Amino acid sequence: VQLQASGGGLVQAGDSLRLSCEASGRTGSAQHMGWFRQAPGEEREFVAALGWTGGGRYYQDSLKGRFTIAIDNAKSTVDLKVVYLQMNNLQPEDTAVYYCAAARYIYNDYKTEHEYNYWGRGTLVTVSS
């Protein structure tokens, strides 16, 4: 599975941004897709995730209400899975590199990065105050 994240950039506090993650290759192994982020000097943390079937969506508690993860049905095909992360009312503390991740199975916890087998390179989001 190859993951390509895009959509990062420089925005001002209060702005919105939509990140996109495209999964190609053996997309059958990308049954669960999620986003993590890593701020400068910090450890990588869970942002949001979803199951490709079943409709389950999972969020870091502090981001609920501002961030939305969803399947991009307009762009997804049999050979390409696309999810987006809609981020609203961005704040400087949201500044980070955002990584897309995928897994065939989630055994215990969507929020644990070790559950994910595949990772994209990341896209930088910078929020100025």
pLDDT tens per residue, range 27-47: 999 999 999 999 999 999 999
The candidate with the shortest Cα–Cα distance to 39, out of 114, 121, 102, 125, is 125
Q: How much is the average pLDDT of 108-116? A: 95
* Pair of tokens at residue 27: 């997309």
Return the percentage of the chain with pLDDT > 70, whole number.
Answer: 100
Q: How much is the average pLDDT of 86-100? A: 98
What pLDDT does residue 122 have? 94
